[in-house]
Every structure is written in structure tokens, then in C-alpha cells.
Structure 1
């Protein structure tokens, strides 16, 4: 029986290749896009899931209920970790975590590597398998260093690295380490990325900072015992905060701060590891916003729904044509359930072919998708048993609902009426109208969201950053050369060059350059009984000149003033407001009880140092006579951008031949600040384009039904003198009404959702009503054109044939 069903299904599909082709193409595209979007969402949602007991791993952060604005920071003082470990036995493991980079030397070869500083408990907290060495003792010694698998291969090749000696650093900062372990490379969906690990005590400033509770410099992760929950432990931390941070609490009280809903003015709290990747306020993560991840999943469901609606409509369109076939089968003794399974079986074949084509299409297009959206997806994510079961479940649901309804409708035909030629399709009911409205509502929602997202990205791109990003070239120095020597040599080489307008150095890049790295230093201290937090930015002479940052008062750093390298700083307006000084030039402040007093010599407007999406942060610039300057900025004339880049490359090969030239333009680097928004707009554009195409296919199917129903009416109208334009209007007006209803639903929904999204940005656009007008008019035009294709074809028919058709 099933073999017979299959044969008949294949014959019918082959006979109606056009319908089969439209269905298979629509379903395959929907399946393919849905696979990509679900893979992207799955990749994001499973960040750090590979860690065993991840639900017991937390990042610490400070909460301060400041009367002006409550704040959170994950920067911790160095003595915090030892104190927590000694006073709280419920902590199973705790580690400090500091980012860094260093040049590594082995047998005369040099390598630039990303180095992390951590404590011995790090390997007990996180699940990074140790391929070589002993996890219990790998980081016990201060001279120990643990490498990633790839780093070990880069440095040692096929040699066994265990016990080998490495030199890290240059000149007076040079240290020797012994390799005690090799870690398996971290997965792509890991928040913590590394080349090597060594102990926190090896930090250059550790001896000076290890006892300072008012110097915040790094992150802390801890793992609680199985019997301790987060809420209980946070309550236990309250006396600890009162003991070590009494000054912070007292300062907030004096400023009129009130306890929050948990009764805290100043608190040490825990953030689940699962939330670290998505958090921008506490962790400073650059990961995709969680709202974007859920939006991707919603879009995937929308696309599948539209494809299913098309499938139903196209099969209903065919049911009128196949009415006589159903009548003959019933008269020959076919039962209702047999007809149902026969027709549903055809739908299952189409679904299977669409599903199979979609998976093949996904496999073929995955590299292109990864390149376009800068992703690193792999189909191995969906080859796991639970994911395969989910995909099969989706296939079964789509087959059941999209194929079951038309099969049920056709199996109900009355055989006698059909054979007499009296069967007629009922007027479109609530379900069919609802399906059309649903299609265009989803399409309208996606198109409106796309336009608004593109406008917001453009707004961010044009947002004043507080410095002139054009005509500035950023050069990462790397770890193989002395950055100060390289900067001075470049100044000497380029002195007097008319194409060079300024040259300086900085501790922080602007945007992401070709080295794809950045760093941030935040200093927290108490000033006039007020908690101050400022970005601590090391710069060199001519920093303001090179970036065209306006000096509001005071002066820039000057080689004529030797004390500028000791205790002088330049601050931004936000920093001046934070310390409560309207005219801060000449004023002093101290970052810790044992530190030097810094004198403010200049005031500049606020500028974006790390992001164009967040509010401009307070910045304090300082000059150092000894600290490294990992980035060199060069301002060039606008007439010689390409020539200047080539010239700088040639000069760099002279002054630092051992370091690769990775120069890039700052205006291109700062585009990375809104890459997630650009990716969102690209995804919306792709989804809305596919949605509108699939919706038009569905509307095309409904138009077939209507025209089949109204063939005689069309003939009568034409005989009575109706023009083609009149006929198109009559046949299109019902569809236009449905599209109008869809626009009336999708427009306020899109406005509400995108308002919520835009509320995340301090610099945002205001949504214009014109967006919804344009989308509405466009949707109506698309609907009219789609319906007109079949309407004109019907209107051109010989009216005699139309009148004989029934």
C-alpha cells in the first residue's frame, strides 16, 4: 500500500513540476536560512557551556548605589583574592585574571603571544584539559608557564615542551620561565582566550599593588562549593565589604546614597559565568547582545512559518484542480483516511526534498555565510544526537501542519458533487485570510526593523567621537621591539616630511586594528569622599595634536617640562565633573593613600576611547618616561593616504625590521565598534528579503485560487465591457485590504520592539513615521504586482472559454 502511495505521489509531483518546484525551493531556502540562524544563536547561547560545574562558577563585581547613578565594575584590587580565599571556606577555588601580551624567545626565535596572569586555582575552576603536565601543580611555582596546544606547536614544533625554558619580555623586563603544562586549545565559544598562562605574582606592578585595596586592576573568578548558592554567599559577603571597604560605604552615606532593594550601598556580588559573554556593563564584553540572539531565533521561526503558510496555500490551490481526481478515487471505493494519507504523503515527499535540499544548501553556503557575517560556525554543532532529533522534530511538525491541512480539506470532497462538476471552493475564510495577514505582518516587521537598524548604524557611524578619526594611521608596535625607541626613530625619520602632520604613541588603540586586540585600564579611588572611576590612558607628546582633540584650558604635555612624565595629567570634561571641579587646571588628586599627587595641567572635551555606543567615560591621560606604548598614531595629509601608508611601511621596516608592519586607518578600525549592529542589520536585510519573496509566493498561490473561483465572473465582466485595469482592481482589492491589516499590525509592533532595542544606546535615532509609510506603500505595491500577474493573464483569456469553464 505504501509503495503504491509513493508511486502515485511521485507521478503527481512530476506531472505538476511547477507547483513542486515552488514548494521545494521555498522550503529549502527556509530550512537553509533557519539552520544558519539557529546555528548562530546556538553558538552564542552555548558560550562557556563546556566548563564542568559552570553553574557554580562566577565573576565578582562591585555594586555602588551612587545617588547620581548606580554603577557596577568588575575591576578588583589585588589583595581581594587572598582575603576571600582565607575567610570563606565555601569557596572551592578562586583566581585573579589579568590580560597581557609579551614577546617570547626560544632558541633565538621570537613570538608575539597573548599571556594571561592567573592563580594556581585557575586550572581547578575552568575546564581547559591539560594535555601534558599535572593540573594539580602546573601553576604552583612562580617560574611555571602553561601553554596552549597551538602555542606549543608554534614555538617547539614536534619537540616535547615540558621542562623547556622560555624567555619572556625585553631588556630589563626579561624573565625566564619553565614550561610545566600544555592545555588543549580553547573552543571558539569561550570567553577566556589565551596563548599561555603564568602566575599573577609575575605582573610587573605586583609588588607595589599587592596590598592596595584602593587600586582596581583585574577580574576575579571563583567557584562555590556544591552546597552554597549565590544568594546565600552574597549575604555572607556583606561583613567582608564592611571590613575592607568601609571608606567606600562611608563616602556613599555622606553623599546621601540610599540602600538598594537588597539593602546595599556598596556590595561585592557575583555574576554567573553564563552571563559574562553577554554583559557589557560589568564584564565589558564585546559579545553579541542577548536580544540579538533571541531576535535571530525569532527570525528563523518567522521564515519557517512563512514557508509553511506558502506550502498550505499552494496545496489548497491545487486542491481545486484535483477535485475530480478525488471524486473518482472515492467512487472507486477509496476511504477518507486513505485519501488523506495519499495526499499527505505527497506533502511529506515535498517536505523531505525541501528539507534535504535545505541541508545541502546550508553545507554549500556555510563558508560564504561565515565570511559575510564574520562567524565561525560549523555543521558539527547540529550533528549531535539532541540537535538531530530537534531537526527531525521540526521536519515532522512542518510536514504534519503544512501538508495535513490541505490533505484533510481535499479528503472531505463529496464524490457525487465533484463528478457532476458542481464542486466549488468556499469563499476565503478566517484561516486563509489569517495566513496572508500573518505572512505580510512578519515581512513588514522584518523590513521595518531592517530600515531602523540600518539608520541606527549610520547614526553611530556619523556620531562625533571627540577626535578626528580620518587621515590617522594606527601602527601596533608588537612585543619584539622597544616601543619608545621605535616611536623616537620614526619621529627622526619623518621629521620635516610635508605629508606627516603629527605622530604620537598611546597605550590604547582606537577601534580594532590588524592586531585585533585592545586593552583597558580603569583606576578607582576616593576623592573628596566621592568614589571616582576613570580610564587611565598613557599617551605620548602630541597626542592631542595628532588626533585633533581641542584643548579647552591649560596646556598639552611638553618636553620642556620634565615633571610632565612624573605627576602631570590631562583630563576630560566628564572627569572634571566627577571630581566636582569646574576649573580643574592646577588642581591635585591622589589615586591611593601611598601614591603621588597628580596635578591637572589640561582639560579637553569628552571623546570615545572604546565605543561609540556607550556614553563617553571620564578619561585621565598621563605621560610616562618608561612605560611601553603599544600603538603609534600618525596623522597624514588627505592628499597622500595611499602614499603615506606605503611610506610608513618602508620607514617601519627600517626602524623595526624584526616586527611586522600592521598599519591601518583609524576610521576603519572604529567601524568595529558597531560591528554587531551592522551584523544585525545584515541579518535583518537577508531575512526580510527572503520573507518578502516567500510571502509573494504565498500570495501568488492564493491569487490562483481566487482566479480559479472567479473565472466565470471574469468572463461576464469582460463581456459587459470591463477593461483589464478594472479587472485587476476588482481582483486585487481584497488582497490590498489584507495587506493593510498586516501593516497596521506590524507597524506598532516594530515600533515597540525597535524602541526597546534603541533604548540600549545613549546615542540613538528617533523612529520616523515615514519608515512605516514607506514599508506600507511598498508592501501594497508588491502585493498588487504579485496578484496582477495572474489577474492580467485571466483578463486576457477569451471570455467564451471563461464562460464555458464551469
Structure 2
């Protein structure tokens, strides 16, 4: 019996090639999108799910609330919190501390082996491995990280530093790590690498007790409750039955005990626990995290595309149901039961979905290549994983039931006597089938219109923000990172070398770029009569050439900042400080970083961060020990590729053991909106698919419905109707459907766009003309498809159509 169902189903599919092709193409696209998104989501949620008691492990985060200045979450915590948390807060079973390092140079002392700089080195205390136990290949996990100048390395580091050696052979070997100072650490343990997906990228764990002197503790910012650094991370494992909320509440008295409240009795700092399972969606160590909002958006888009393809199927099948009424009548007359008919029609649906699923797997490979840069780091598609095998087994069956059950019920419900006469089972004016088809068409069209509106407005806003003047010159400016805590003399040597080059207009040193994602904030005290006014400000560490290199206009004073007790400020600083003019601010002495500093110049406002944010009051300070970037302004009409190569050659003459990598400032600024561009491009792709699927459905539906009205069209022609009248008659119904679809699409599109646009400090007004253009565009496509079918039908000879009447 089952074999018969599939044999008949196959013959029916071959007999109706257009209908079958539309179904397979639409469903394969929907299934491919869903399969890829399913894998992306499962990959993202797989990170750090393998740790024992992972549901009881949390990272402690800090929230800094600056009132009108905004709230800023930070994955770091003050150093003293690690010392008291277990004693002050009940319910904590274990605590573990990490202090992550950046660009650490690794060498084998007394040899010429230099392994380059690494971001996979961290300080750790013994509690870290109690929370996150590892397989130990050598060493004692209880004592390995107790003594200062000890290091535990991973198996990957073992093969890198000591190729060919066994784990037990390297115990006692010495490694040198160059950070703010040189650390000579003895290997006390070797651990196995993780094979599972994890955000813990570290391979070298130096004992935290190595940071022991008061000078070191202060240098790393572990001495003060007010010092919060994202490098200083604290993990806790809660006891059984202890909730994270109770720990969050217990932080409040701890804060009031160790921190000072403001004048209103409020604390600007608070702590909260972040579940280990959520860490991948927050601040990670190598930018490998993913936005949960983006993931939810992908799921939403995938479901929309699949729903549109499913609606196509339901729409076409119910529309064509009357064409199979005689088949149903004959089957029922010769003894076929309704269950057998439903099984037959579901078999057809299953066969279509099976073929679509096979085609979808081929499309997935194309989608992987197309969206390679949008997929998570380390993402691989394992077709034979357990989750994917379950997807193959369950998804086609589930989709068959969802997609095919309604058309099967409609077809199997025909009355055999009426069906054999070619009559519908319902003769009244109202038809559920027609009503449902119109509504399904409206849903498809409204989805397409909403997608078009979203893409056009996103594109409009992104073009607007990228075309706005930023207040500085971004063209022909290149930059490179300097070694961490580099010798100031070497930095000046590098700057001088660049200034001697003919291709270079000017070079400067700074702590950050003129515009970047980094944000250093502090407060400053402005003298007002006999009192002081506190003001939150942004701080940038620059040299005297910084303003010139970046083309920032100087409004008053001088930009030659070369002393620690001198500062530059921007216009916004002058306004918020209450000065009448830039000239009035020059020469004023203000309190900054517990010192008295003098304002020597005022620069024009510029956007130091993305246009999502407003311009903050800004202070330029001079501290050459903390310069991290070299910025170079090239002369005009240079060969940029050759200039980049020359700059990197010079860099290596000063820093032979470093990696020279110069980048363009304008490319860095474009990355501000990288996430928005990703959203726009994904929506554009989804928009194209939605339009394609809707057009396929409209093509099939209009082809069938107009074929049903061929006799009506012929009679109207015989009675003298013109081509224009016939086209308008048929198109009128679809114009109404597009109008209703537009009204439905406008509301969700407006809600999403208004929320997204409000995230920009610099934004366009809601472009309602784009809404109208999207609706008119879809109407034009709809009328084109319907018009072509109507025109073909109107050109048919009425004599041939009406000869049987």
C-alpha cells in the first residue's frame, strides 16, 4: 500500500511539472536557510557546556552607572573583591581568578628562540582549576599555581615551546614572558587542551601570586576598589541550592562597606553574576562571541522564509484542489476511505519535501560560501552529527504534517457525487478556500513589503552616517599597534624615522586612535568661584603631533602638548564647564587625576566614537609610557600599497621581533557599523528570497486562477470588452490584496526601524516615502506577473474556448 502511495505520488509530480518545480524550489530554499541557521544556533549555544556543574558557575561582572553618562557593564572586577568574596558572601563553594594579558612576548631565556606575541597568556590562581578542572599530563594540580614565578602550560604550548618533549620532561624548564616587566616562570604543570568549543583560549597560566609587590599590584590595578579592568576577571562556583539572585543581593552591603556613595547616597558601582552559559553572548577574550539579538534575528528570518515557502505550498494546493475533485470522486466511489486519501496526499507532500531537503543540502554549501564572513569563528558544518541526524529525521516529517495536512483534508472532503459532476462541495457565495488563499497571499506579500522597507531604510541610515563629517581627516591616515609598554625612546625613534620619509606628511604617537571603540573615562574638577564642579570626561593620551596628523581644527591656544601637567580640551568640554568661549578656557588650571593641570589649547569637536553616541567632553593628556599606536599621515597622490609596505619595513627595523601591520583609519571607522551592515546584508538576502518565493507562489496561483477564468474572459471579449478592461478586471483583485498587505507590513517595519534608529545619536527622520516606494514596487511586480498571465489568456481565440458551450 505504501509503495503504491509513493508510486502514484511520483506520477502526479511528474504530470504537474510547473507546480512541482515551484514547490521544490521554494521549500528547498526555506529548508536550506533553516538548516544553516539551526547549525549556527546550536554551535553558538555549545560553548563551555561541557564543564562539570556548569549550571553553578558564574562570572562576576561590574556595572558602572554614570547617571546621564550612561551605564557600562564590564566583565572585570576590582582586585580586592577576589580577596574577600568567599568570606563576605555565603554560598560560594569555590572562587577562581584570572588576569588576562595582552600581546605578551614569549621566549626561552638563554636561547635565541622567540615565539612572538600571544593573547593566550594569563595569570591564574589555584582556584581557577578547581572550578574548571583539566586533565593533567604532568604536575600536581593542587600545588602547581601556588608558588610565584610558576606556569602551567597546555599541550599545544608544550609542542610549540619544547617540540618532541614529553610532558614530564619539561617540568622545571624556564620560560620568559615580557609584559610590563620580564617574568621568568618555571613550568610546574602540563594540561590537555580542550577539544570542545570554549571561550577560554588561554594556553599559558602564570601563578597569580607572581604579582606580589605593592608596585606590581598597583601597576595591574588590583589594589583599589575603584579600579575596574576587563582583564581582572573573577569566577565563582555556587554551592548546591544557592541562587545567583541571592549572591547579587549580597554584593550590595559589600559595596557599601568598601566604596563611597555620591551626594545622593547612591553607588556608581554594582556587581552582578553572569551564568557561564551566557558568557559566549557577552564579552569574550578574542571577540569570538555572538550577539543573542543577532541570533534571534536569524531564527526569526529563517522561520519567515520557511513559513512563506509553506504558505506557497498550501496556497497552490488548495487552489488546485478543485482540479483533482474528479480523482477524489472516483477513488471514493470505488471504496477509497478518507484516511487513505489523506495518506495519499501526504505521501505526495512528503515526496516533495524529501526532494527539497536533498536539494537544500546542496544549497547550504553555496550559502556557506556566500556568508562565510558572517558565520561564527570556528564554525564547521558536521552533516553527520547527532543534532543534524535528528534534523534530517524529524524535520521532513514535521514539515509534511504542517504543510500537507490542510490541503489533504480539503481534497479528501469532496462529496463524490458532486465531484464527479465537476461541482464544488460548497455552492454558496462565501468560500473558505478562496478566503484562505487570499489571506495567505496577503501574508506573503506583507512579509515581502516589510523586508523591502527594512532593507531600504537601513541602507539609507548607514549611507547617512558614513557620509557625515567627523571633525577630522580620515583619508590617507594609517596606523599600527606598538608593543605593549614599549621603551619611549624606541617609540620616538620610530616616529623620527617616519617623519624623515618623503611619503609621510607627519607621524604621531597616541594611546588610541582618533576614533575607535575604546573608551577611557575619568572625572575632572573645574574651579567655580570658591567651589569645584565635577565633570565626567573622555580621556585620550596623545603627543604634540596628534592634532596635526588627524587634521583636527585648533580653536584656541596651542596643540603642542608635551608635558604631563598640560592638557588640551574640546568644545564640548568648554560648553559643559560653563566657559563663554574657547579663549576663556585657555590657561585655566583644573583638577585631573589628583593633580593640577593647565589647559593650553582647545580643539573643535569631533566624533571619537561611532555616530550612535554623542560627542563627550574630551581631554587630551600626555603620558608617553602608555602610547599604544603610531599614526601616520601620508602625502597626497601616494601609491597606498607601496606606502604600506614601506611603513612596515621601517617598523621592523626598530622592532625586529614584532609583527608589522599597518591599517587604514577609514577602514577602522567603517567597522563601527559592521554589525549593522551584517544585519542589512542578511535582511537583503532574506528580502530577495521572500520576494522570490512570493513571486513563485503568485506566478503559480495567478496561472491557475486565470486558467479557471478563461471562459469568462472569452465571453467578455465576445461581448466587446477591450484588452485594458480585461486586464483591469483581473488585476483589480490583486491590487486590493497588495494594498491590504502594505497596511499590515507598515506597522512591524515602523516599530523595528524606530527602535533601531533611536540607537543613533545622528539619524535620519523616518523616511515615509521609502515605505510608499516599497509598496508601489511590490504592486508593480505583482501586476507584471498577473498582467503577463492575463494578457496571454486574453489573446486566446474565444471560438476555441467556447466551442463546447
Do these two structures clear the TM 0.5 threshold for a shared fold by scoring above it? yes
Q: Which residue of 1 aligns with 2:415?
A: 414
- Deviation (angstroms), 1:716: 0.7
Please give the secondary structure, in 1, of the residue aligned with 2:242. coil
8 Å CA contact 1:276–1:283 kept in 2: the answer is no
Q: Which residue of 2 aligns with 1:298?
A: 300
- Deviation (angstroms), 1:413: 2.6
- Deviation (angstroms), 1:398: 1.9
Q: 1:447 aligns with which of 433, 452, 459?
A: 452
Please give the secondary structure, in 2, of the residue aligned with 1:168. strand
Q: 1:336 aligns with which of 335, 338, 344?
A: 338
Encode CA deviations 1:100-138: one digit per residue, 9 max, x unaligned: 221111342321111333433333334676665544434
8 Å CA contact 2:174–2:186 kept in 1: the answer is yes
8 Å CA contact 2:610–2:672 kept in 1: the answer is yes
In 2 relative to 1, CA 195–553 (structure 1 residues): closer, same or farther, beyond 3 Å? farther
- Deviation (angstroms), 1:768: 0.7
Cα distance in 1 between the residues matched to 2:201 and 2:602: 37
- Deviation (angstroms), 1:536: 4.8
- Deviation (angstroms), 1:712: 1.0
Q: Which residue of 1 aligns with 2:131?
A: 125
8 Å CA contact 1:340–1:407 kept in 2: the answer is yes
Q: Which piece of structure 1 moves more, 135-144 or 523-532? A: 523-532
Report whether the alignment pairs 1:176 with 2:184. yes
In 2 relative to 1, CA 181–677 (structure 1 residues): closer, same or farther, beyond 3 Å? farther
Q: Which piece of structure 1 moves more, 222-231 or 627-636? A: 222-231
In 2 relative to 1, CA 38–575 (structure 1 residues): closer, same or farther, beyond 3 Å? farther
- Deviation (angstroms), 1:548: 1.6
- Deviation (angstroms), 1:304: 0.6
Report whether the alignment pairs 1:777 with 2:776. yes
Q: Which residue of 1 aligns with 2:441?
A: 436
Encode CA deviations 1:420-448: one digit per residue, 9 max, x unaligned: 34458975532111100111111112221
In 2 relative to 1, CA 343–80 (structure 1 residues): closer, same or farther, beyond 3 Å? closer
Report whether the alignment pairs 1:471 with 2:473. no
Please give the secondary structure, in 2, of the residue aligned with 1:217. coil
Q: Residues 76-475 of structure 1: matches in 2 within 5 Å?
A: 76-91=77-92, 92-106=94-108, 107-110=111-114, 111-114=116-119, 115-126=121-132, 133-160=139-166, 162-163=170-171, 164-169=173-178, 173-182=181-190, 190-200=198-208, 202=210, 205-207=216-218, 209-218=221-230, 219-223=232-236, 224-246=238-260, 249=261, 251-253=262-264, 267-278=270-281, 288-363=290-365, 365-371=367-373, 376-380=378-382, 385=386, 388-389=389-390, 392-422=393-423, 429-475=434-480
- Deviation (angstroms), 1:59: 4.0
Unaligned runs of 5+ in 2: none
8 Å CA contact 2:217–2:223 kept in 1: the answer is no
Cα distance in 1 between the residues matched to 2:716 and 2:459: 47
8 Å CA contact 1:522–1:533 kept in 2: the answer is yes
- Deviation (angstroms), 1:457: 2.5
8 Å CA contact 1:130–1:182 kept in 2: the answer is yes
Report whether the alignment pairs 1:791 with 2:793. no
8 Å CA contact 2:40–2:376 kept in 1: the answer is no
Q: Which residue of 2 aligns with 1:757?
A: 756
- Deviation (angstroms), 1:234: 2.9
Cα distance in 2 between the residues matched to 1:124 and 1:603: 53
In 2 relative to 1, CA 222–305 (structure 1 residues): closer, same or farther, beyond 3 Å? same
- Deviation (angstroms), 1:477: 3.5
Cα distance in 2 between the residues matched to 1:375 and 1:794: 54
Question: How many residues in Structure 1 have an aligned counterpart in Structure 2?
Answer: 777
Cα distance in 2 between the residues matched to 1:630 and 1:70: 27
Cα distance in 1 between the residues matched to 2:356 and 2:606: 52
Q: CA RMSD in A?
A: 3.6
Q: Which residue of 2 aligns with 1:639?
A: 637
Please give the secondary structure, in 1, of the residue aligned with 2:229. strand
Encode CA deviations 1:538-571: one digit per residue, 9 max, x unaligned: 3333111111223344433455xxxx1x444434
- Deviation (angstroms), 1:462: 2.9
In 2 relative to 1, CA 95–494 (structure 1 residues): closer, same or farther, beyond 3 Å? closer
Cα distance in 2 between the residues matched to 1:210 and 1:669: 32
Q: Which piece of structure 1 moves more, 305-314 or 653-662? A: 653-662
In 2 relative to 1, CA 368–178 (structure 1 residues): closer, same or farther, beyond 3 Å? farther
Q: Which residue of 2 aligns with 1:740?
A: 739
- Deviation (angstroms), 1:303: 0.5
Encode CA deviations 1:746-794: one digit per residue, 9 max, x unaligned: 0122001221223333333322101110100001011111222322221
Please give the secondary structure, in 1, of the residue aligned with 2:102. strand
8 Å CA contact 2:78–2:225 kept in 1: the answer is yes
In 2 relative to 1, CA 199–551 (structure 1 residues): closer, same or farther, beyond 3 Å? farther
- Deviation (angstroms), 1:588: 3.4
In 2 relative to 1, CA 148–23 (structure 1 residues): closer, same or farther, beyond 3 Å? farther
Cα distance in 2 between the residues matched to 1:327 and 1:96: 75
Cα distance in 1 between the residues matched to 2:247 and 2:349: 57
In 2 relative to 1, CA 354–740 (structure 1 residues): closer, same or farther, beyond 3 Å? same
8 Å CA contact 2:522–2:539 kept in 1: the answer is yes
8 Å CA contact 1:615–1:762 kept in 2: the answer is yes
Cα distance in 2 between the residues matched to 1:775 and 1:134: 67
Cα distance in 1 between the residues matched to 2:758 and 2:295: 17
Q: Which residue of 2 aligns with 1:26?
A: 26
Q: Which residue of 2 aligns with 1:515?
A: none
Q: Which residue of 2 aligns with 1:550?
A: 553
Cα distance in 2 between the residues matched to 1:339 and 1:687: 36
Please give the secondary structure, in 2, of the residue aligned with 1:473. strand
Cα distance in 1 between the residues matched to 2:388 and 2:491: 53
Encode CA deviations 1:192-229: one digit per residue, 9 max, x unaligned: 54453324455684245443334333443231333332
Unaligned runs of 5+ in 1: 513-517
Cα distance in 2 between the residues matched to 1:202 and 1:613: 42
Please give the secondary structure, in 2, of the residue aligned with 1:220. strand
- Deviation (angstroms), 1:640: 0.9
8 Å CA contact 1:477–1:483 kept in 2: the answer is no
Please give the secondary structure, in 2, of the residue aligned with 1:159. coil
- Deviation (angstroms), 1:394: 3.6
Q: Which piece of structure 1 moves more, 287-296 or 346-355? A: 287-296
Q: Which piece of structure 1 moves more, 438-447 or 494-503? A: 494-503
In 2 relative to 1, CA 454–283 (structure 1 residues): closer, same or farther, beyond 3 Å? farther
Cα distance in 2 between the residues matched to 1:575 and 1:86: 44
- Deviation (angstroms), 1:720: 2.3
Q: Which residue of 2 aligns with 1:702?
A: 701
- Deviation (angstroms), 1:169: 1.6
In 2 relative to 1, CA 146–61 (structure 1 residues): closer, same or farther, beyond 3 Å? same
- Deviation (angstroms), 1:648: 1.9
Cα distance in 2 between the residues matched to 1:148 and 1:758: 46
Q: Residues 399-798 of structure 1: matches in 2 within 5 Å?
A: 399-422=400-423, 429-478=434-483, 482=486, 484-509=488-513, 536-558=539-561, 564=563, 566-572=564-570, 583=585, 585-591=587-593, 596-609=595-608, 611-617=610-616, 619-625=618-624, 627=625, 629-642=627-640, 643-798=642-797
